[in-house]
Amino acid sequence: MSERRTPARRVLLVDDAEGLRGYLARLLELRGFAVDSAGDGERALALLDAGASPDVVLLDVLLPGQGGLATLNRIRERHPALPVVMLSVIGRAATIVEAMQAGAADYLTKPCDEDELVDVLERACARARGESEERAGADAGPLWNGETLGRVRELLQQIADTDVTVLIQGESGVGKEIVARAVHETSRRHARPFVKVNCAALPGALLESELFGYERGAFTGAVARKTGKFEQAAGGTIFLDEIGEMSAALQAKMLHVLQDGRFARLGGNREVEVDTRVVAATNRELGQLVGRGGFREDLYFRLNVVNVVIAPLRERRDELPALIDHLLRRLTARYRRPPRRLSARLLRLLGRYSFPGNVRELENLLKRIVVLESEEPVVRDLLAADGPASGRQEALDRLLEEVERSAGDLPLREVGRLAALEAERSAIERTLLRTQWNRKQAARLLGVSYKTLLQKIRECGLEAG
């Protein structure tokens, strides 16, 4: 009998550009969504009226005939509980505001980041179904029950009715964006846009135009006015990730925006006024950076009204079981794999691992397990990364389990034999990993014959993955 797969979430994709529609459909299917497509608003409404039941609609603004905003209004009238995410090359603040006022769940501008698109669709589905998702806010179930994130949750509840700036600090991959989204979702601005900008991804001039937009003719290729992320986030929250990488000149402009809520687009003289809350994050110690002259002290104080420091995962091991369970459920649903639990052996290895990449690294490890439907590649990598000391500990753990299962019936000589076998197994396994399972090379390194090594591999139960 075939294994039961978790049903995929369904997207109704509405875009008149056939090439882009095909590309997005393939992308979303690879990310675990089922996709229905329509080339215009009338066809999309006909599908909905005929009984199509998507979890979310991805709707282009510029459509032939009945436009995207008119289609949005008709969807809201006929299917008020169905979330609609708008997608367009148009980034005008007025268009974004009109879409959000009409009930759009979110608004993305083309070209958009693939992970961001999937994340927005998942959150729209989660809110519509009343689910507690990791990125949906501070009520994210077991993820927020640990000591570290529990304190963060209490802090976010204290500032929920304010618009103060928030500075989130922590190593890469600890979950700074999760906390930033929680700041937004627990605030009075939760129904308005949440816009993320990675300050480390663009050089100074490009980052300035991304944040504040530009006027027509501001530079070669600027054939039309473009609104920036601050205007797109009007009424909502802008998340400035890796703000410690921002240039000195742009820091000065950012200070002006935080003080007055005004800025001028690149190449323009007229000031634009916006009501946008700022949440910033960095993996650098900004206080030390200020001391070395690498970051403006006045901007640091403006950003650091509320400071949230997220400890690395290696210092939050109490959260590992709930985090693993949550990520496994989310990943098996995304990739339509059967539910699974990790073995005791892998859980012990994860419990000792230092996680230099923090939560992001843990998610990638679990993603490999879910997609490949096997733990062995991850187990081998963890054993290789931990080195000889961990190998001895792993062997000892297995031996102690065997002694415990036998309730003390094993003679001391047998315990010694098992310990020696585990030591041999650990040495052979590490050498095979080092040589990428080249048995002849491993035999030379171990100082045994090729035939002896093959026999030991069989005795120890080792197999190439």
Does residue 133 surpass a pLDDT of 60? no
- What distance in Å separates the CA atoms of residue 375 and residue 166, rounded to the nearest whole number? 39
Q: What's the pLDDT at 412?
A: 58
Mean pLDDT of 262-276: 89
137 pLDDT band, cuts 50/70/90, is: very low
With a CB cutoff of 8 Å and minimum separation 6, the contacts of 363 are 327, 331
| pLDDT for the residue numbered 414 | 60
Most confident of 12-26, 89-103, 424-438: 12-26
Stretch 360-365: mean pLDDT, rounded? 89
pLDDT, tens only, 183-209: 998 899 988 888 889 898 887 778 988
380 vs 139, residue with greater confidence: 380
Dist. CA 236–CA 191, nearest whole Å: 8
Query: What are phi and psi for residue 114, nearest 5 degrees?
Result: -60, -45
Position 336 scores a pLDDT of: 76
pLDDT at 96 over 90: no
- Give the model's pLDDT for residue 135: 37
- Grade residue 111 by pLDDT with cuts at 50, 70 and 90: confident
- The confidence band for 246, taking pLDDT boundaries of 50, 70 and 90, is very high
Q: Which residue has the higher pLDDT, 60 or 223?
A: 60
Query: Average pLDDT of 450-463?
Result: 79
Which pLDDT value is given to residue 289?
92
pTM over 0.75: no
pLDDT above 50: residue 220 = yes
pLDDT band at 399 (very low <50, low <70, confident <90, very high): low
Q: State the pLDDT confidence band at 134, using cuts at 50, 70 and 90.
A: very low
d(CA 216, CA 385): 53
Residue 459 has pLDDT above 80, yes or no: no
pLDDT band of 139, cuts 50, 70, 90: very low
| Residue 102 confidence (pLDDT) | 77
Average pLDDT over residues 223-236: 86
pLDDT at 1: 36
Average pLDDT over residues 86-105: 75
Residues listed for the chain: 465
